[in-house]
A and B are shown apart, each in its own frame.
Chain A
């Protein structure tokens, strides 16, 4: 994870702690998750299931599905998700499925 973010944040909002791929991050509460992760220095959100190539947000409007992350075991578009306290975010489908 690159913490020298290529993105500049101009708003100040109260922050909450989430985890991304197991690492804690402080993100603005209620922010667009994709924007918040980018600003926190996360560039690659996932690896493609086809070639393993890294991908990050592309369209920011829910059309391209490149910003997919996993929340509660479900692949979600980060750009269509709001930051809430305690959110556990993973790269999609990297862990094993529970045999449940």
Chain B
């Protein structure tokens, strides 16, 4: 079995940057990634798509090509199409590629598993035609596919960017329906302070809004009472805004109210997590190098806390440097010397977060959905069900999962976990920390029994 100094999960900005740097320091590195090509979600398919539609997607996207290029020439063993489904002590990483199970052993592991969209449970959000704005981005980046009649719903700069790209491509969204209010934005201005990056974000956002206005994209703010209508698929979005009821007929609804760390891998290792009120999600507890309370396990990028692509890149490098030092490749002095400029960039990039978190708060009615709203897409469990389980004594998500199956389906709680914690915390009058989160176990992603069985030692012995 292969044994490496460092195994990295995820070939987004954090994983790619960390892999290239660690390899440059002489470490043996394996980079496992689910996608066929490096880039992660933010730079999805950048090597192919930058040439085709780089103009449309902008320089923030095409920057990813520098990372994929560095990765290509690094000597890193980049295993694409590898779905990691277990990480055990030692560390043993089990994964599936092309329908075969395999394992790699690593002295240290960097989890660079990125973010997922914050679940946005609204009435009708499970209908075909309702997708995340991130999904819309992926459709455009990877496939050059655009929704003809879409409504964008929620909050955050990604909505503006998506709308502007759609406009430039000749398929403007029917409307931009924001749940944030003008006072959210005004209140957030106080947090801009001297953060130059913050002003840049703000101006960029205002620039995009001006572009959308020129392009005739209708915008609503402070929308409430959101519901997606339709029987077999999304047919319309209804909501209230500006004291009026609205109904917009559409084929596609793109939802977005921020992204949250994808914590499945970190949780499966039992890493301690803490509730972060500003980002309204759990974050893994890490030291200044990104190392967790499970020695040898590092987390970087959005899976360590939402910071965006630039933060991910530098945090990945920081973790890789620390791994190099721990593996005896560089001295402490060298570590500190090389880390200093990375930390400076990180501080600069992170200074904008308080502004963004305040300007674009999550949609309140999706954080505490109405009783009838489905919150677990897989097992079709409603918010009311979870409140009922609280009344039957469920103090945390694991007992609620046993009572009503929320989190038991194939997505393994990715799109209901935060909602279940929030609902139980509210119903029980407890903090999210005291309420806790799902106990995440292998398989991190489904694996066929055939793939599993083929890794059975006795079966292998018999075959030999």
Contact = CB atoms under 8 A, between A and B. Distances in A.
Nearest to A61: B41
B414 A43 contact: no
A93 B303 CA distance: 34
B145 interface: yes
B346 interface: no
Nearest to B166: A8
A50 B128 contact: no
B232 interface: yes
Contact of A65 (B130, B139, B378): B378
A63 B410 contact: no
B388 interface: no
Contact of A56 (B41, B128, B445): B128
Contact of B145 (A8, A63, A66, A75): A8
A63 B415 CA distance: 8
A79 B36 CA distance: 11
B385 interface: no
B184 interface: no
Nearest to B232: A54
Nearest to B129: A43
Given A38-B139, A80-B34, A59 B116 contact: yes
Interface residues of A, number: 39
Interface string B111-148: 00000110000000011111110110011001111111
30 contacts: A6-B252, A7-B139, A8-B145, A8-B148, A8-B171, A10-B53, A10-B145, A10-B169, A11-B52, A11-B144, A36-B143, A43-B129, A44-B232, A51-B380, A53-B126, A55-B128, A57-B131, A58-B126, A58-B131, A59-B116, A60-B132, A60-B134, A61-B138, A63-B116, A63-B262, A63-B415, A64-B414, A68-B410, A74-B448, A80-B83
Interface of A: 5-11, 31-32, 35-36, 38-39, 43-45, 48, 50-51, 53-66, 68, 74-75, 79-80, 82
Given A38-B139, A60-B131, A68-B410, 12 more contacts: A6-B251, A8-B145, A8-B148, A10-B144, A11-B144, A38-B145, A45-B128, A55-B126, A56-B128, A56-B233, A59-B116, A65-B410
Interface of B: 34-36, 41, 52-53, 83, 116-117, 126-132, 134-135, 138-139, 142-149, 169, 171, 232-233, 251-252, 262, 377-380, 409-411, 414-415, 445-446, 448
